[in-house]
Structure 1
Amino acid sequence: MRELKILAVVVVLTLITYWGVEPFAHSQMHPQVDPVNYNFEEADRATSKEAVEKATKALAEAEKKADEKAIKGAKTDLEAAQTFEKTINEFWDANKEAIAATPNVANGEALVTANCTACHSIESKGFPKIMDDATAAGAYGVSTPDLGSSGKIYSKEYLVAFIKNPALGSKVSHKFTDGRVHPMPAYELMNTPQEIADMVAYLQSIAPKEMTNKEVFVDACQRCHGLKYADMQKRTMGAFSPADDITKYMGKLPPDLSQYIISRGEDSLGKFINDPQKLLEGTAMPRVGLNQESQAQVIKYLEEVGDSKKAQREELGPKFLIYLVIFAIFAFLWKASQWRDIH
């Protein structure tokens, strides 16, 4: 009986830790953020509104404490949040015409050829790289992507937003202030909404129908991130942009992603890829802009690289628990038979 009481105490304490203490600690270290949202217009309107509400609350708290320094800082933050909310809402309002336009693919081909191939390759259509990755990174801060798959891995809405204004489309406008400009020009200054719609339609028309998980990762992530353990032979996939250039451009060296599926987990990775600002406000990492299918492929590939034994581990788990239960029963029966007389 005493053993059963001890077991009951251990079970209760374990459950309290698992269902009470651990979730509370996790919530403090990882505050809850909005779930992944692939409707970037909706997400931007919501997050900018939340930023204004947060800044308004901070100002009210500062005024309640009558802290002049805090009040001044809170007013500045509120003005910045209100200005950005107005900017981002006007930006998405302006995108509607290009998103809704009936595109002309032939005109889009001419525009992409004239405007984009000076910096970007489209290998599938016979446009090779003008510069190697190192030279491009030296010129722009980061190597430029091949556009052949962009119509597959990104949504039409994101492509329109990015072509019109890359800094706003990828949520890194906070990096480009005081005269700093995004290395890619904003085509809203050079092309009409109809022309941008045509360019996007062409990129979608040349995109591959299917891509492997690795191909999506290479096109979406490898310009900045490397993988030390890219396969079972531990062959490295280095970032296309040299470390010095990408560090200067981003402010710090982007991490190797080999083990991020384990250290961060699928949920956290998904939220960060979808909108880095939700989890790390002010980060230099842009919103990648992947559609739902492509983001799932990136995460799946990180799982293949960093947690290739996941299926085997999950299959082994229930078997091991069954073994422990059987072992505990035999241990209890053995103990009862050996110590019965002593008790």
Structure 2
Amino acid sequence: MREFKILAVVVFFTGLIYWGVEPFAHSQMHPHVAPADFAFKDLGTNTKVGDAKVGAETFLSAGCTGCHSLNVANMPSPMDAAAASASFGVVPPDLSTAGLIYDKNYLSALIKEPTKALKVQHKFNEEKPHPMIAFYGLGGDIDQEIADIVAYLQSIAPKTLSDKEVFANACQRCHDMKYDKVFSATDKKTLTAYMGTLPPDLSIIIRAKSYEYLEIFINDPQKNLEGTSMPRVGLTQKAQEQVVGYMEKVGDRKKAEREDLGYKLIGFMAIFTFLAYLWKVKVWRDVH
């Protein structure tokens, strides 16, 4: 009976620390933030229905090809990676997959007001303008023109992409993935000057941060790290899941094996504890 009382005390204080003290400490170090918003409600909604054919003409007239490549339409980048890094601080993305991986509302807002969509107003202003110039329209209904451009980008985008391809299009301009021999095309010195610090290699980020943390952080970095230079990425929920999935494949290849081993270890300890208890009962019975 005495042993059971001791066990009860140990279980009580262990539970108190695990379910009481630890969560409280975690809440103080990592305050609760709103969940990821894949509708990007703060950006509003462009209700116009876009025309992809008109959007193709608007895309060219707006001068988008002055910075961006569109390889799917045989429009190469106007600069090589070194020149683009020097000019913009980071290599502008190819837009071939933009219509698939980025949310429609986000794309519309990004074209119209880049710093707001990216949530980097604290970093860029009139004295230090953002490399991406806001689209002011071609003289017609600007919301309609933007809707046409988005419709065009969606029409030429591939139907599906692998997890690695989504990562390459969404993250690789700034981040490396050394474990998979994937490296950013942007010059590191220029990127450091542009961002204020060199963006980290993401090979083992999945081990340092939880899935839940990454879901919120990628969707809106300012929620977890206010003042960070990392822009809001604007991925759809599916595309973001693919990015995190790729991080898991590269940085935590043994996850399934480790989790399976954990269950086996718990089972072993339960059986071992039961046998140890039976052995203890037998020994003390002989002593008495």
Letter in 1 for 2:249: E
Deviates more, 1:144-153 or 1:101-110: 101-110
TM-score (norm 2): 0.93
Question: What residue number does 2:165 align with?
Answer: 215
Counterpart AA for 1:194: Q
1:77 counterpart residue number: none
1:189 is displaced (CA, Å) by 5.5
Structure 1 distance, partners of 2:126, 2:134, is: 17
Choose which of 181, 186, 194 in structure 1 pairs with 2:129: 181
1:105 to 19, 36, 52: 52
Aligned-partner residue type, residue 13 of structure 1:
F
Work out whether residues 99 and 153 of structure 2, in 8 Å CA contact, stay in contact via their aligned partners in 1. Answer: yes
Q: 2:99–2:154: 8 Å Cα contact kept in structure 1?
A: yes
For 2:90 and 2:137, the matched residues in 1 are separated by 23
Percent of aligned positions that are identical? 51
2 CA distance for matches of 1:269 and 1:102?
33
Instruction: Tell me which of 122, 130, 144 is aligned to 2:78.
Output: 130
Quote the offset at 1:314 in angstroms. Answer: 2.0
Conservation of the 8 A alpha-carbon contact between 1:165 and 1:188: no
Larger fraction in helix? 1
- Equivalent of residue 249 in structure 2, options 288, 300, 304: 304
State the match for 1:26 in structure 2.
Answer: 26
SS in 1 for 2:227: coil
Conservation of the 8 A alpha-carbon contact between 1:163 and 1:188: no
Aligned residues: 285
Q: CA deviation at 1:177?
A: 2.4
Deviations 1:131-169 (A, max 9, x none): 222221111000111100000001211111001111111
Question: Per-residue deviation at 1:121?
Answer: 1.1
Q: For CA contacts below 8 A with separation 6 or more, give which structure has more relative contact order.
A: 2
Q: Alpha-carbon deviation of 1:272?
A: 0.7
Partners of 1:314 and 1:183 in 2: how far apart? 45
Question: Matched residues in 2 for 1:152 and 1:23: separation?
Answer: 38
Question: 1:113 Cα shift?
Answer: 3.0
Unaligned runs of 5+ in 1: 45-91, 231-235
Could you give the per-residue CA deviations for residues 228-247 of structure 1, whole angstroms, max 9, x where no partner exists? 212xxxxx212221211111
User: 2:120–2:229: 8 Å Cα contact kept in structure 1?
Assistant: yes
Instruction: Report how far residue 178 of structure 1 moved.
Output: 5.0
After TM superposition, which residue ranges in structure 1, 4 or more long, deviate above 4 angstroms?
A: none
- The alignment yields a C-alpha RMSD, in angstroms, of 1.7
Match of 2:6 in 1: 6
Task: Please list, as runs of the form range in 1=range in 2, the aligned pairs for 1:323-342 lying within 5 A after superposition.
Answer: 323-342=268-287
In structure 2, the CA distance between the partners of 1:311 and 1:100, relative to structure 1 (3 Å rule), is: same
Work out the CA distance in 2 between the residues paired with 1:188 and 1:155.
Answer: 21
1:187 aligned counterpart, secondary structure = coil
Residue aligning to 2:115: 167
Gaps of 5+ in 2: none
What amino acid maps onto 1:103 in structure 2? G
Q: Contact (CA 8 Å) 1:171, 1:287: kept in 2 or not?
A: yes
